[in-house]
Structure 1
């Protein structure tokens, strides 16, 4: 009598779940870094750190470079689902936002982010939609910061943030 043994390989399913989890976690880390960079920028402005020591030693500059690095980390992961695709696209737009050299480029990134969120399928998870909206909110804050710094004669530079 022959025994038929069927094996099922779940490693592909586990790998897909792990990549999706890592992408979501890395995107959350990206947003956290953006919020921290915006706070650092505000602190540096209030403390006149950049004026006293020059922009090369600013913690805000380092924070924005970390944001750019984290955005590259998120965009390096291949999207496996509709949720991943939205996060991947928003991370790419965040990367473009921190490296934007002008207000017009930042406004273009903002409008593309709005379009991305609007065009996301209805099957997108609510948590992912919320994260994408938070990313849009941070792009709005970057734009607001750039507009304020652009009108400030004491500011050496407003953009790119991750210079």
Structure 2
């Protein structure tokens, strides 16, 4: 009977790869913000959202059921849109954790953390060894004059 040592080595390597490539530790999940599901259409023909027709503009959508504390939608240029949760990502939702827009930045009243509405990045991240989260991003896709925001 013929032996196939190369097949045995391949199977061992595949098993090893599968063992170390699967992880369920959830280290990227933000522990402060609950997962919610929603879908919301933003019609940029409406005056309320028409600012999104211009590059660099952001709009705060504070509609019940859209995000946890609402959503910031930004036209980042080149027909690209990004949508971020309006609840501070470094606190459980509370009375001071709704981000307030200041130009192209959103600021948390709880700790004065500032976040880019273009990237969601925490701009004044402390260098204290603790873990801090960037803004939670939602899907934003445009079709004609409608931007679909969903999670």
TM-score range, shorter chain: under 0.3
Ranked by relative contact order (alpha carbons within 8 Å, sequence separation 6 or more), the top structure is 1
TM-score, length of structure 2 as denominator length: 0.26
The structure where strand makes up a greater share of residues is 2
The structure where helix makes up a greater share of residues is 1
Structure exhibiting the larger radius of gyration computed from Cα positions: 2
